[in-house]
Amino acid sequence: MKTTFALALALTAGLAACSNNAQNETAQAADAIAADANATTQNAISDVDAASDRALGSAEATMDNADVHAERAGDRIENSADRAGAAISNGADRAADATGNALERAGKSLKD
């Protein structure tokens, strides 16, 4: 038992002697881990910011392109409506002329 006690006492003395050194190394390791974690976090934040900027830029460009396409589509619709209106007007004029001519012929028939 004396031997076990002496061995335990020697181990305790050894641990106490290197305890300060071990504490310093542990603190340095913890500082290195914290610095690595901080750098990793900063890199992740930068990556997310850059990806967000690219996504917003892409969305903005898509919206701009959609506006241009919508404007062109609106112009085409307006031009088509103008052509349809002109065709309807021309058709109505021809129908009115045909009706007037038919009435004139009917009136001449009645006169004779």
Give the span between the Cα atoms of 42 and 31, in whole angstroms.
Answer: 16
Please determine, for residue 62, whether its predicted confidence score (pLDDT) is greater than 70.
yes
Q: pLDDT-based confidence at 19, cuts 50/70/90?
A: low
Average model confidence (pLDDT) for the chain? 78
- Which residue type is seen at 68? V
Give the span between the Cα atoms of 73 and 75, in whole angstroms.
Answer: 5
Which pLDDT score, from 0 to 100, does residue 92 have?
83
Please determine, for residue 73, whether its predicted confidence score (pLDDT) is greater than 60.
yes
Please determine, for residue 6, whether its predicted confidence score (pLDDT) is greater than 60.
no
Please determine, for residue 102, whether its predicted confidence score (pLDDT) is greater than 60.
yes
- Which residue type is seen at 97? D
Q: In the chain, count of helices (H) and strands (E)?
A: 1, 0
Please determine, for residue 35, whether its predicted confidence score (pLDDT) is greater than 70.
yes
